[in-house]
Structure 1
């Protein structure tokens, strides 16, 4: 029996690695389990979204169109115009609903990558490092290879694109970028976007801007988006695709509702691909999504919860860890090797064993590239639960770190 030749290049997902790390470990029964490992929103789903699903259950009797409803296109276009203070995109040609940004991030590479045009090796998909693991899988299974640009803590975790060789840029066909970033929470500046747009103009690659954390932020000014940056720089959306989702914004990860928007020519080809891929969104989910994109009150309430949570927990953890409030998103990205040189994996394993708290080793979210693994000796903590549970976890982590310092 034969299989896709690149499937063997896929690594186990971080949570599978975590399961192996914890194999045979018995957590301290004196503590109830608390997981800060998975970035799955735990705040309640707004009632009006639940109600919209129930009201529109008749939609289950119809095959949905892959392109999605006009109402959903309009709701997304209006949200983008309000959120980023830009002229509304053409709802018919520049917007496409998708079943969550994850599946679209993967499928986009299948549409963009053309292995036949590279003379000096397979095409490249440029990814930040650490990164959302879908980028790597999308690269391999589209016939390309990932090229990792390491996050630089001295640059607010932005990669130094100037260090990437010319020969690499000439093979790049797709660049993934996540802003606000997972796991660092860093937000790209207008200068960062100008650099990426200039590189895209020079080498002709497509930019896929993963912006699923855009509505969780801690400063007065909302994070800059890619479409907004293009608008401010006086350019159109050529070779630019923005991807977003309701999962974090509206606490509906199970709804699997998001969108892609941007370059009309790419959107046309992506719609063609999706027509065959079978990615149409259920009519009842489309209807609920319209209500979600049209409402900002629940988003502001959700953001306020995160702000209060991070204001309490970040200073507490900063007493024992090298960690600071991120620009946005719901992760803390902490360095741990200052604690008697403990590794990120050993920190996670011992914390789980002694205090029944799960965190994700940073090395699981990155790859060794250019001589280092930029996630090594860091941990990612997802503060997604209600504040009381997150505070309890933070207090246990503080106690654990103090035992490490006492050794």
Structure 2
């Protein structure tokens, strides 16, 4: 029987903690507050969304296919071919009601109850997207939080773990470009991780929802590396239209991997998953097949990378992100810096400790704040200038 206390050790979600932290703080008078806490894109949605919805609204009268329409799956398959040079059949892809649902449900579908005779392990980068830890708890696995700090290039050093831990591992989560650090796993890193998964018999869940927001070059994909190695069963990738197309409310996510792994996920979702309404799938069909709006969107983020580099480039320890839309700014204390910024600058950020787990007395996010570059360029430059002036240039 599942332990009814299995969620009792999960920390409170980041945003309720933030509200409580700032409950007694108010921004200064005469300053327009800027909220840079949540990774919700604020760029314009693509022009094709409204007319596609209007044209297909009558399909709300129909039950949608749980795994995705043939057109939806075909569009995703085509995108995987264009973006990564992959030839992925549509039965190796499934629609998701947002990538978060898939990152959770895939653990239910693919994590064994026992691994090598004992409790399975789920490896999680630290800091991390909180659904990874909830998924591990849901399947009764032991979560092992692996630091992703400057010392490791802000990517987890899974290969450095005890071989006994790796032998017990069933699932390993990886986010690239990383939330919150903006680091990118290169092809060598991905190939080494997939080889490790093959050696120790586990699956890599690659969270690639920031894959289309990058500075200089498109990040390589985990399935791309796995296919080249002849090991597609070692990887399941997750992505969505939330970031690449500014459509977080569409909830049009995807998972892709081997036929067997996606088949198991499809079976679970046929009972427990919420299918994407047909008008939403019709919009997604167009969005996955169109790159012009993605290129334009990326240019807006690249403009804000340049702003951040210009405003904060002289800050000790500052590193501009290689991908994604967060800054991971070094501070003495993340909570204290967050309170100070709200009181003195009217800028709201997120303490890095709220995205991390304390292990052996150390929280790798405690000395950082996360800043979301989701607003317009002018607002972003003004807010980053306030951050610099309060935290770094005025002591």
Q: TM-score, normalised by structure 2?
A: 0.96
**Structure-2 change in CA distance of 1:399 and 1:152 (3 Å):** closer
- What does residue 340 of structure 1 align with? none
User: Do structure 1's residue 113 and structure 2's residue 98 form an aligned pair?
Assistant: no
- Report the alpha carbon displacement of residue 371 of structure 1 after superposing the two structures with TM: 4.3
Query: In structure 2, how many angstroms separate the alpha carbons of the residues matched to 1:213 and 1:117?
Result: 31
Query: In structure 1, how many angstroms separate the alpha carbons of the residues matched to 2:115 and 2:80?
Result: 34
User: Do structure 1's residue 228 and structure 2's residue 218 form an aligned pair?
Assistant: no
- What does residue 72 of structure 1 align with? 72
Correspondence for 2:242 among 240, 247, 258: 247
- What does residue 310 of structure 2 align with? 315
Q: What residue ranges of structure 1 are gaps of 5+ in the alignment? A: 338-342
Query: In structure 2, how many angstroms separate the alpha carbons of the residues matched to 1:108 and 1:325?
Result: 32
User: Do structure 1's residue 344 and structure 2's residue 334 form an aligned pair?
Assistant: yes
Query: In structure 1, how many angstroms separate the alpha carbons of the residues matched to 2:100 and 2:143?
Result: 17
- What does residue 163 of structure 2 align with? 166
Structure 1: 4+ residue segments shifted above 6 A: none
- What does residue 393 of structure 1 align with? 383
Query: In structure 1, how many angstroms separate the alpha carbons of the residues matched to 2:125 and 2:115?
Result: 24
Query: In structure 2, how many angstroms separate the alpha carbons of the residues matched to 1:23 and 1:38?
Result: 18
Name the SS for the 2:209 alignment partner: coil
**Equivalent residues, number:** 394
User: Do structure 1's residue 374 and structure 2's residue 364 form an aligned pair?
Assistant: yes
Query: In structure 1, how many angstroms separate the alpha carbons of the residues matched to 2:139 and 2:320?
Result: 36
Residues 26-58 of structure 1, C-alpha deviation per residue, up to 9 Å, x if partnerless? Answer: 221221110111111000111212221121101
Query: In structure 2, how many angstroms separate the alpha carbons of the residues matched to 1:105 and 1:5?
Result: 22
CA contact (8 A) 1:100 1:258 kept: yes
Query: In structure 2, how many angstroms separate the alpha carbons of the residues matched to 1:79 and 1:362?
Result: 34
Name the SS for the 1:306 alignment partner: helix
- What does residue 301 of structure 2 align with? 306
Residues 1-41 of structure 1, C-alpha deviation per residue, up to 9 Å, x if partnerless? Answer: x9933232222111111111111112212211101111110
Residues 351-375 of structure 1, C-alpha deviation per residue, up to 9 Å, x if partnerless? Answer: 1111110111111111112442111
Residues 282-329 of structure 1, C-alpha deviation per residue, up to 9 Å, x if partnerless? Answer: 100110000001110000000011111110222202234531221110
User: Do structure 1's residue 208 and structure 2's residue 205 form an aligned pair?
Assistant: yes
Aligned residue runs from structure 1 range 3-402, under 5 A: 4-86=4-86, 88-91=87-90, 93-117=91-115, 119-120=117-118, 122-219=119-216, 221-232=217-228, 234-320=229-315, 322-337=317-332, 343-402=333-392
- The worse-fitting range, judged by mean Cα deviation, of 363-372 and 200-209 is 363-372
- Report the alpha carbon displacement of residue 331 of structure 1 after superposing the two structures with TM: 0.7
Query: In structure 1, how many angstroms separate the alpha carbons of the residues matched to 2:115 and 2:338?
Result: 44
CA contact (8 A) 1:321 1:336 kept: no
- Report the alpha carbon displacement of residue 203 of structure 1 after superposing the two structures with TM: 1.4
CA RMSD in angstroms, aligned pairs only = 1.6
Residues 338-362 of structure 1, C-alpha deviation per residue, up to 9 Å, x if partnerless? Answer: xxxxx11100011111111011111
CA contact (8 A) 1:113 1:143 kept: no
CA contact (8 A) 1:322 1:336 kept: no
- Report the alpha carbon displacement of residue 161 of structure 1 after superposing the two structures with TM: 2.2
- Report the alpha carbon displacement of residue 117 of structure 1 after superposing the two structures with TM: 4.2
CA contact (8 A) 2:337 2:391 kept: no
Query: In structure 1, how many angstroms separate the alpha carbons of the residues matched to 2:387 and 2:39?
Result: 18
